Copies of this chain bind each other. A is one copy, B any other.
Amino acid sequence: MIKKIAHIAVVVPDLTEANRFWVDALGLEMDRVEEVPEQAVDVAFLPVGESNVELLRPIDEVSGVARYLEKRGPGIHHICFEVDDIAATLARLKSFDIPLINEEPTIDRHGTKIAFVHPKGTGGVLVELYERP
């Protein structure tokens, strides 16, 4: 089951400039900034309702997010849904021949299971799924 939109991730070249819109002008709150070394990004977490807007700032020039920014410019990068059973969700996607970036979930340092669905299979949307521990 899909529980909610966990976050919308927006790739930005600069967090200070991005905060001028998202925090100062729009009025979202900045909860925290975390470095996520495995994706080579700093992530700013802006809670909104039961979801977050996540601002992704590449910290190198070769990561997937950095190349996305270089190629497509700033904007929405992906949408993440929280699911209650990621293994069951991935099995169902496979049964429909939806191409997955992660055939098996990866597990982050918080114990969250994460998998990305390829935009080829979703109609052009990079979809992340996660299951909390």
CA distance A51 to B80 in the complex (A): 13
Residues of A within 8 A of B (CB): 1-5, 8, 10, 12, 17-18, 20-22, 24-28, 48-51, 73-76, 79, 81, 89, 92-93, 95-96, 98, 119, 121-125, 127
As for how many copies of this chain the complex holds, the number is 2
Is there an interface contact between B92 and A27, defined as CB atoms closer than 8 Å?
yes
Known A76-B76, A81-B48: A93·B8 in contact at CB below 8 Å: no
For A51, the chain B residues whose CB sits under 8 A away are 4-5, 49, 51
A127 to chain B, nearest CB (A): 8
Q: Specify which of A17, A24, A26, A74 lies most central, judged by the most chain B CB atoms within 10 Å of its CB.
A: A26
A84 to B: closest C-beta gap in Å? 10
Q: Bound complex: CA of A28 vs CA of B89, how far in Å? A: 11
Which residue of B is nearest A98, CB measured? B25
